[in-house]
Amino acid sequence: MRKANILSDNRVAQELIDKFNQKKAVIGVIGLGYVGLPLAVEKAKSGYKVLGFDIQQKRVDMVNSGINYIGDVVDAELKELVFSGKLEATTDYDRISEVDAVAICVPTPLDKHQQPDISYVEASTREIAKRLHRGMLVVLESTTYPGTTEEVVKPILESTGLVCGRDFFLAFSPERVDPGNKQYNTKNTPKVVGGVTKYCTEVAATMYRNVLEGEVFTVSSPRVAEMEKLLENIFRHVNIALANEMAILCNKMGIDVWEVIEAAKTKPYGFMAFYPGPGLGGHCIPIDPFYLTWKAREYDYHTRLIELAGEINNYMPEYVVERAMKLLNKQKKAMSGSKILLLGVAYKNDIDDIRESPALKVLSLLEEEAALVSYHDPYVPEFTWKGRHYTSVELTEEVVSSADLVIITTGHTVIDYDWVVKHARLVFDTRNATKGVVDTANKVYKL
């Protein structure tokens, strides 16, 4: 930790740093979803009193009852923190006045024009501004376009008459949540922090150093931290598009793209493996690149590579359905009226998160072609999509054998793919989930 005397000329900053170091600070978290609840739990585990804010009464009631609804949170830890009084949830935003620091962890979706919707960030900031007090830290964690912290959040907070960097402190520190990751979580993932001023940066970094095990890496401004987050996700976005395009070409050439990738992985430098699939899913990669393409127009620049990658990735659900149609045709079956079983609707394996899941897009496209679609997902027993409610079917021999085509859209590791292949008539594997199946009996086709 840096020496405290570098802030000797800002008594307000030093007092807040002392509160963090002595674990006397009360910390608030706005938004108790996939990012906010794990963050609130880690802050409470570190010894701070934590107040979680959410507009959904159901979430608040569950937290206050010690009931967990996020996979990356340990049930027993949540109960212990709640019942010991370290963590409390509320819908009463007036209680923001009780906190010394608050993190904004709300959604930043795209609107129907594929433009950033930061209305949740703005609304949360206005709620904070109503209760903003001297000696308070505000950190935006929601992924957004470069400039949001200084151009949107800061003016709202300074409309109170308090000055950023002198009376209160403001920083951007992007969330890095990978649902289902067994190695890295909120606690041990390195954290990037960029404050509006040097005082803002140091105050925010001190809080995170007292909470997290991972390195806290400081940058020169919120804009750098905002852009860094986008680069992380655009890097994956572009490389996944390359893998998807390779999959399409390899299929046309009669080459197994999965074998190609495994061979390329043997190179110990200059190559990082990315894998094709039925499309992009999750709360970041399908959305974040559009923040930058939108912002780039302000600088009269067209992000050609990013947008082309988006076109390729967005096409994949359609490609999957086209391939499925051809596979059925080979069996002298029409798509219309065919029984199709989707294995998995979560956006990645071994989690229950269906946000932006490509499996849902595949499902819709199949239904548009009048296919009779059912699904099985051990992590998603039911869901509602485009006004229709779906329920997972039991994975029985009758269900599998009666399907004209089984499409593996999520590679959940708890599913016995040897058993599935044995009983299925035809399998289209978009995730390479059947790679360990020895006897495919010429009825397994890969992406």
Catalytic residue among 105, 200, 250, 284: 284
Q: What is the pLDDT along the chain (447 residues), one digit of tens a residue?
A: 444 444 557 899 999 999 999 999 999 999 999 999 999 999 999 999 999 999 999 999 999 999 999 988 999 999 999 999 999 999 999 999 999 999 999 999 888 777 889 999 999 999 999 999 999 999 999 999 999 999 999 999 999 999 999 999 999 999 998 888 889 888 999 999 999 999 999 999 999 999 999 899 999 999 999 999 999 999 999 999 999 999 999 999 999 999 999 999 999 999 999 999 999 988 778 888 888 999 999 999 999 999 999 999 999 999 999 999 999 999 999 999 999 999 999 999 999 999 999 999 999 999 999 999 999 999 999 999 999 999 999 999 999 999 999 999 999 999 999 999 999 999 999 999 999 898 777 899 999
Q: For residues 113 and 320, give the distance between their C-alpha atoms in angstroms, rounded to a whole number.
A: 25
Say if CB 31 and CB 105 are below 8 A apart. yes
* 250 among known catalytic residues: no
394: which residues sit within 8 A by CB, 6+ positions away?
Answer: 376
Q: For residues 69 and 59, give the distance between their C-alpha atoms in angstroms, rounded to a whole number.
A: 8
Burial environment of residue 220 by CB neighbours within 10 A (0 to 12, 13 to 18, 19 or more): exposed
Q: For residues 16 and 136, give the distance between their C-alpha atoms in angstroms, rounded to a whole number.
A: 8
Question: Could you tell me the two tokens for 187?
Answer: 């606690």
At 7 the pLDDT is: 55
